[in-house]
Structure 1
Amino acid sequence: MKKKMIAEGNTAEVFEWSDNQVLKLFRPSFNSKACEKEFAINQELSKLISNLPKAFEMIVEDNRPGIIYERVSSPALLTLSLRKPWLIKEYGRKMARLHFNIHQKDYYGEVIPAMTTILPASISQAIYLNETEKEILLQKITQQSIEYKICHFDFHPGNIMYKRDDEKVIDWMTCCIGNPLADVARTAVMLEFAVIPRVPIFISYLSSIPQRIMNRAYLNEYCLLSGRTIDEIKVWYPIIMASRLQKWLPEAETKRLLKEVRKRLNT
């Protein structure tokens, strides 16, 4: 692959493809089904949502499946918040407004998976939780209202590309249909409890302060827009935290989330 790599994540690498296109090339551990699923989801979402990059076609490059996407030149909200930390509260409010608008869309098709399927499967596979704890969490899911809203389920500042009058949300691989408060809780948990790996605890703590400030602004604005409360969102916290306890999560964050889950189950 002679193209220039411009980004990478756990599942894929992103390369320059043309002036207005990029290639998302899945890592060798992912088969074509993951690629096909993401492409199909993008086709469904594009009928309902305008602020996501268009997926043009699936290809195979270096024996790896990939998708050619519209190139988004706007900086990520994460980059902007590092450049202008004095605007971090406003960026949190922008996140909330964008997320709330996504949650206005209902979906009753079969291509996008249901949250009621995804969350129980993730909790069943969660590491370090015992069977009793898993059963309690699975029961909590059944106690929540079933909704059919589009949920991104990986909505954080690194996946929001922003410039004035042009907002795009990328990386819809985890998109599902369900209760929007679970989607909000997932964003809040990532902002509040994410741990930067391989740095001293004190440095990690200092680095997390802006994220927590952004999170408070995000939650307050979302509640203002939706008429819901932070307490209603926090009902989802132990469920979302437990669902993230997977092998790919950094060890420090795993320990922190596990502690938080057990604290909430015992109160």
Structure 2
Amino acid sequence: MYGTRIGAGRTAEIYEYGEQRVLKLYLPGMPEAQVEAEYRISQAACRAGVRTPMALARVRHDDRHGIVFEKIAGGTMLAALARRDGDVELESARMAQLHGEIHRIAVPGLPDQKSSLQDRIAHAPLLSDEVKKALGADAARSAR
């Protein structure tokens, strides 16, 4: 079983899972296909050199899907900012640098991020056609 909860987000909770592992346990109702996609993407990104924890296994606890990741020591940027011992500008610059590094790494077999985002915008039920068109135009300009 899993141990103490050490984090939570919009779609999942993070638990200790043995000594060198954590469990990302998705909230009930999260589609299995979405969990499987994150598992595959996480493994591919790690193998391609992205500095990210390796996804080790998929698990199921009761009616919830989960992914076991290797545990990485240290705190998060968000936690540092919440404690007020992090500088917002410095942490923002670090986050931007890390995202830049990630997006420069080609990961074979993963969907194109811009195409995926455009598709999600096009099919977002809460956006008007006018907003979808404006966002699509913005995405097309940034792709150039």
TM-score interval for Structure 1 and Structure 2 normalised by the shorter chain: 0.7 to 0.9
Residue 61 of structure 1: aligned partner: 61
- Cα distance change of structure 1 residues 86 and 6 upon mapping to structure 2, 3 Å threshold: closer
Residue 51 of structure 1: aligned partner: 51
The Cα shift of 1:142 comes to 2.9
Q: Quick one: distance in 2 between partners of 1:56 and 1:2?
A: 15
Picking from 117, 131, 134, the partner of 1:133 is: 131
Q: Quick one: distance in 2 between partners of 1:87 and 1:136?
A: 34
Higher RCO (CA 8 Å, separation ≥ 6 residues) = 1
Q: Which amino acid aligns with 1:63?
A: D
Q: Quick one: distance in 1 between partners of 2:39 and 2:102?
A: 19
* 2:115 is the counterpart of 1:116: yes
The Cα shift of 1:105 comes to 1.4
The Cα shift of 1:44 comes to 0.9
Matching of residues 1-267 of structure 1 within 5 Å: 3-85=3-85, 87-107=87-107, 109-125=108-124, 127=126, 129-145=127-143
The alignment partner of 1:110 has SS state of coil
The alignment partner of 2:143 has SS state of coil
- Cα distance change of structure 1 residues 92 and 37 upon mapping to structure 2, 3 Å threshold: same
- Cα distance change of structure 1 residues 97 and 140 upon mapping to structure 2, 3 Å threshold: closer
The Cα shift of 1:66 comes to 0.9
Q: Gapped runs of 5+ residues in structure 1?
A: 147-267
- Cα distance change of structure 1 residues 96 and 141 upon mapping to structure 2, 3 Å threshold: closer
Q: Quick one: distance in 2 between partners of 1:53 and 1:139?
A: 35
The Cα shift of 1:45 comes to 0.3
Q: Quick one: distance in 2 between partners of 1:41 and 1:83?
A: 31
The Cα shift of 1:31 comes to 2.4
Q: Which amino acid aligns with 2:106?
A: D
Q: Gapped runs of 5+ residues in structure 2?
A: none
The alignment partner of 2:87 has SS state of helix
Identity %: 24
Q: Quick one: distance in 2 between partners of 1:61 and 1:7?
A: 17
Deviations 1:172-194 (A, max 9, x none): xxxxxxxxxxxxxxxxxxxxxxx
- The answer on whether the counterparts of 1:120 and 1:138 sit within 8 Å (CA) in structure 2 is no
The RMSD of aligned alpha carbons is 2.4
Normalised by the length of structure 1, the TM-score is 0.47
Instruction: Point out the structure with the larger helix share.
Output: 1
The alignment partner of 2:104 has SS state of coil
